[in-house]
Amino acid sequence: MYLPYNFGGLNNQSYKKAKVVVLPISLEKTVSYMPGTKFGPRAIINASRYIELFDIEMGRDLSQIGIFTLPELLFAKKSLEESIKEIKQAALNLLKDKKFILSLGGEHTISYGLISAFKEKYKDFSVLQIDAHSDLRDEYEGTKFSHACVMRRVRDLGISVTGVGIRSQDETEIGYMKKKKIKTIFYAPMIPLKKIISSLSKNVYITFDVDGLDPSIMPSTGTPEPGGLGWYEVLSLIKQVAKERKIVGADIVELSPLKGIIFPDFLAAKLAYKIIGYSL
C-alpha cells in the first residue's frame, strides 16, 4: 500500500485546517563528531508513516487534530547566520497563522532561530531543554552559533532555560553557570518533576536533543553519551509539563540515522507524535 510522504503518512492534508505543522529543517553546518543530522528529518518522517495513528494511552487517533507537513528547509549554499534568519522567518509565518509548530532537525542550532520567533509571540515564556549537554559554550570551533552554543545564545535573548538529562559539560560552561547563578540545570539521572516544572513559565517551548536519551535506545546521534534518560521517563516529564503549563511548540534535533538500524528513527517519530498529543 502506498503511503503519502508526510508525517503520519496522511491522506488529504490541509494546511488551512491543520492545528499542527511539521517543519523539517535539514541544517548541518557545525556537527563536531558523527555527521548525518541533515538526514534526520527525512528519517523521522519516513518512520512516522508506519506508526499506529491510534494512541492507546490517549484513546484516540491523534492525527484527527490535523497535521500538515511542510517541505524541508535546505541550506546548502547559505551561511549559518543566513540559515538562522530563514528558520526564524519560517516560524514567524507559521505562528502568524496560529499553528502549533513541531520542527524536525537537523542540528541543534535550528532551535535558536525557532525560539527567537516564539519569543516575539509569547510573553511569560521559557524553554525546556532535554539534552545530554548544556550547550552553554560561548564559542565552539570558531562560531558562536555552533550546536554547542545554542542554549547560551538563547539565554542571551533573556529567555529562561531549564535543562534536563545533562551529563556532559565543558569547564567554561560550569564557570558561566556559576557567574550567572544558573540553578535550572538538572543532571541525569535525576528528574525532580516539581522543581523542573516550578522553574518553567506559563508558556513552554520544548527543545529535545535526542542524545538526552540513553544510547541503548538512541544510538543514532552524533555524541551518544552514556547514562541517558529512558522512554517512559521523558514521556512522564512531558506529560506533566503539558498538564501544568502550556506547551506552545517543540523541536526534535540531532538524529543522525544509522544504516540498517531503524528503531531510533521510529522512536523519534513516536516521540513527536506523543508531544503533539500531550500538547494539544
- The per-residue pLDDT for 159 is 97
- Backbone dihedral angles phi then psi of residue 104, each to the nearest 5 degrees: -120, 120
pLDDT band per the 50, 70, 90 thresholds, residue 1: low
Identify the residue whose cell numbers are 548544556: 134
Global model pTM greater than 0.75: yes
Domains and CATH numbers, the chain: 20-279 (3.40.800.10)
Please give the average per-residue pLDDT across 258-276, as a whole number.
98
Identify the residue whose cell numbers are 559554550: 137
Please give the average per-residue pLDDT across 229-244, as a whole number.
98
Amino acid at the residue 118: F
The model's pLDDT over 101-135, given as tens digits with 9 standing for 90+, comes to 999 999 999 999 999 999 999 989 999 999 999 99
State the average pLDDT for the chain. Answer: 96
Nine-digit cell at 206? 520544548
Nine-digit cell at 200? 518553567
Q: Which residue has the higher pLDDT, 268 or 142?
A: 268
Q: Is the pLDDT of residue 95 over 90?
A: yes
Q: Is 243 helix (H, G, I), strand (E, B) or coil?
A: helix
The model's pLDDT over 70-94, given as tens digits with 9 standing for 90+, comes to 999 999 889 999 999 999 999 999 9
Nine-digit cell at 136? 552553554
Give all strands (DSSP E) within the chain, no chain letters.
20-25, 54-55, 60-61, 67-69, 100-105, 125-130, 160-166, 185-187, 203-209, 246-253
CA distance linking residue 60 with residue 76, whole number of Å: 40
CA distance linking residue 227 with residue 213, whole number of Å: 8
Amino acid at the residue 166: I
